[in-house]
DNA sequence: GCCAACGTTGGC
DNA sequence: GCCAACGTTGGC
């Protein structure tokens, strides 16, 4: 089992939106970065644990715990010509983009970037690195343990 | 809105 | 395969 951090913009799909969905589960559509896609396609398994992270918003940070509940399958938005995520090079036979399904386990207090940065134990987290833009990043088991046991 | 960082595109 | 131009991300 692996641990991940997945970013989402709360103005598009925030944790409260997902909590209001059926089974508190969302298909993680819209990833258009190959490295992030490959994490979903090649490494994510049902049961993997996820930090739910709000980005591009007034208070960026971890806001919940979630888990992977369905393995990667083609992202529906790539086939939708009206979607900004449409990809004309993607076909049903050769989909280019995939997503997993993610279920929110619980909403937590907000652990903001400043707070995360304040702990030396978390200094190597990808999301804290300068210039980091990757929307899905692996989380070290020790980092998961520290955050869930010491900060929450 | 700014801008640093970095990914993608496309001409050569 | 190089790399300049361009586009996007995301904190501030």
Q: Tell me, what CATH number does A62's domain have? A: 3.10.590.10
Instruction: Provide the residue range defining the domain that includes A92.
Output: 3-140
DSSP string of A76-144, one letter each residue: GGGG-TTSTT--TT--SSS---EEEEEEEEEEEEEEEHHHHHT-GGGTT-GGGSTT---SEEEE-HHHH
A134 touches strand C (CB under 7 A): yes
For chain A, give the percent of residues with pLDDT over 70. Answer: 100
pLDDT reported for residue A89: 87
Does residue A152 lie in a domain region? no
Residues A26-80: pLDDT tens digits? 999 999 999 999 999 999 999 999 999 999 999 999 999 999 999 999 999 999 9
Number of structural domains chain A divides into? 1
Does residue A148 lie in a domain region? no
A33 touches strand B (CB under 7 A): yes
Distance CA A61, CA A115 (A): 9
Does residue A150 lie in a domain region? no
Mean of pLDDT values over A86-114: 95
Does residue A146 lie in a domain region? no
């Amino acid at each position: 089992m692996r641990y991940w951090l997945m970013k989402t913009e709360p103005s598009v799909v925030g944790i409260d939106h997902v909590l209001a969905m059926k089974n508190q589960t969302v298909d993680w559509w819209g990833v258009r970065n190959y490295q992030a896609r490959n994490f979903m396609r090649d490494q994510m398994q049902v049961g993997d644990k996820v930090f739910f992270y709000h980005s591009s918003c007034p208070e960026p940070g971890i806001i919940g715990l979630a888990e992977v509940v369905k393995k990667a399958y083609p992202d529906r938005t790539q086939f939708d010509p009206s979607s900004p995520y449409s990809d004309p090079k993607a076909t049903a036979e050769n989909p280019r983009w995939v997503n997993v399904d993610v279920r929110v386990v619980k909403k937590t207090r907000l652990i903001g970037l400043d707070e995360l940065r304040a702990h030396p134990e978390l200094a190597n987290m990808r999301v804290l690195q300068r210039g980091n833009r990757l929307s899905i990043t692996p989380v070290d088991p020790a980092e998961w343990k520290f955050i869930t046991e010491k900060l929450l």
